[in-house]
Amino acid sequence: MAKSSGLGWTTLSVDDASNTQQAIKNDFTNLQFATPRSVQDITGIDKSAKETLLLLADVTFTGNGVFNPSANMSHDVFKTVPSTSVARLVTMVANGKTLAPTLNCTDYSLTRAAGGEYTWSVPGVLANGVVPTWS
């Protein structure tokens, strides 16, 4: 198996408020996602090192991008985050590997920087209790 870069993502699509996937990968400039597990410390006083149990799985996500007001692009997808309570399927495919969690997006933050850049940031957390699984 060859090592791969993060270049050339084939898919980064996000549901809009009507649960229609929109291909907005071109609007993303960077993203961060994690699939952490909770743990419970079960270390007894007879131990000299920690013992833990794995608990619930989770997904955290933050996408950042460039403002695009065109139909079915990033602004159309995220403009309803503050006014609707819609979980959104986020489908990510890179190097032939797919992760597609359903997230609650918790903010749609816009920034107009001093140099004129107009960008957005959207964080999300796991919405539906389905264990995030790479395929």
**In the chain, where the domains are located:** 11-31+64-126
pLDDT of residue 1: 60
pLDDT of residue 25: 96
Give me the residues of the chain with pLDDT under 50, please. none
pLDDT of residue 130: 96
10 Å Cβ neighbour count for 16? 18
pTM: 0.90
For 60-80, letters b (16+ CB in 10 Å) and e give: ebebbbebbeeeebbbbbbbb
10 Å Cβ neighbour count for 1? 3
> From CA 56, how far away is CA 77, in angstroms rounded?
29
Please classify residue 117 by burial: count the beta carbons closer than 10 Å to its beta carbon, then call 0-12 exposed, 13-18 middle and 19+ buried. Answer: exposed
> From CA 31, how far away is CA 63, in angstroms rounded?
4
> From CA 84, how far away is CA 62, in angstroms rounded?
19
Task: Report helix, strand or coil for 21.
Answer: strand
Task: Report helix, strand or coil for 25.
Answer: helix
β partners of residue 112: 118
pLDDT of residue 8: 80
pLDDT of residue 6: 87
First to last CA, the chain: 16
